[in-house]
Amino acid sequence: MRSAFRARRVVLIAVLFLMSAPTIPAQARSANVTERTFEVNSAGSDYPFVVSLRGVYRIFRDSVVVEIARGVIASQVPAQLGAKGRATDVTLAVGLGSGTPDSWRFLHETKEVKIGSSLAPEQQLPVPLIRLVVTGVDSIPLGDRWLAFQVGVQQEIPGMRAGRMVNFACSEDYLLGATLSSQARAIRQRAAYAQVC
């Protein structure tokens, strides 16, 4: 089943990335605030439910403010599953990714925001303008953390455990910018997305 998800890329997600990147308002720039644009796209990964997002984040002393400018959540579940592949209660949250010796962890996540009530196989939901705040980061070394978005759904896909499922999409760069370590992680992420994000 997972190989089927990998093979099914959501074409409409590509259209999103032809649009211009979001800009950071000049009046918001400050020597005390780090501001960067981001984009994440898990389409074509092993995850049944994928997300493509663009926006801006700002790092303050004790929080990271994430503003999603545009995006979609899409199902890579094969259309032939019909109603059995339909997901309900579709939500989105953001947190910080942190590497472990074997994989990674999802930390400091925000509350889930409901994006839609239902998502049919091979269909997608637009993500509205959303502002999410990751708190409690004042004592965390952000130089080796990255943005991680969590898509949550209720599902009863044949061959999978029924119930709540979460899938992820991660930025390739670290919060404070690209490093040799983040570049190596990005290569691993492209090769085996779900193991690194």
Domain span at residue 154? 2-20+29-196
Question: Contact at 8 Å (CB) between 149 and 166?
Answer: no
Coil, helix or strand at residue 144 = helix
Per-residue pLDDT for the chain (197 aa), expressed as one digit of tens each?
554 555 454 444 444 444 444 444 433 444 578 999 999 999 989 999 999 999 999 999 999 999 999 999 999 999 999 999 999 999 999 999 999 888 899 999 999 999 999 999 999 999 999 999 999 999 899 999 999 999 999 999 999 999 999 999 999 999 999 999 999 999 999 999 988 99
Please tell me the pTM assigned to this model: 0.85
* Domains of the chain: total: 1
Q: What is the 3-state secondary structure (H, E, C) of 38-59?
A: EEEECCCCCCCEEEEEEEEEEE
Q: What is the pLDDT of residue 101?
A: 87
Q: How many CA atoms lie within 13 A of 64 on its CB side?
A: 31
